[in-house]
Amino acid sequence: MAGVKSIHHVAVVVEDIETSLNFWRDALGLEMTGRRDVPAEAAEIAFLEVGGSEIELVRPTSEESGLARYLAKRGPGMHHLCVEVEDILTLLEKMRDHNIRLINEEPRSGTDGRQYAFIHPESTGGVLVELYQLS
């Protein structure tokens, strides 16, 4: 059965990670557990742990990226909700069976072995949703 296991993270698109850390890490007190560049997504990400999930601060590193276009159009704020799933391939097939619009028809692979795919907000009530399978 291909089901959702948990909320893995909430991604917040930001113009400047250091400025955003002033709130999330310094004022709110969340622990930053990592920070890395993700060239495949033209992004820099800071990871903050909260209750077994994460908040990811995501900054575009290229003006031409989809993330940069999103930021220019909508401004900083919540970018997407990511749910961890048991079987991403089966769940993507189920999405297609239900005529759900997918951004990624096939999962992409992260450098850490995880697989992920995005579902278009048009099919989710306005929320960009990421499916995430840890290997």
Q: Which range marks the domain in which residue 102 is found?
A: 4-133
10-residue averages of pLDDT along the chain (135 residues): 86 97 97 94 96 96 94 95 96 96 94 91 95 90
Report the alpha-carbon distance of residue 57 to residue 110 in Å, rounded.
17
**Side chain identity at residue 89, one-letter code:** L
3-state SS of the chain?
Answer: CCCEEEEEEEEEECCCHHHHHHHHHHHCCCEEEEEEEEHHHCEEEEEEEECCEEEEEEEECCCCCHHHHHHHHHCCEEEEEEEEECCHHHHHHHHHHCCCCECCCCCEECCCCCEEEEECHHHCCCCCEEEEECC
Residue 30 has φ and ψ, to the nearest 5°, of -75, 145
Residue 111 has a pLDDT of: 76
Q: Count of domains in the chain?
A: 1
- For the chain, how big is the Rg over CA atoms in Å? 15
Residue 51: CATH number of its domain: 3.10.180.10
Residue 2 has a pLDDT of: 64
Residue 135 has a pLDDT of: 75
Residue 113 has a pLDDT of: 85
Report the alpha-carbon distance of residue 16 to residue 59 in Å, rounded.
7
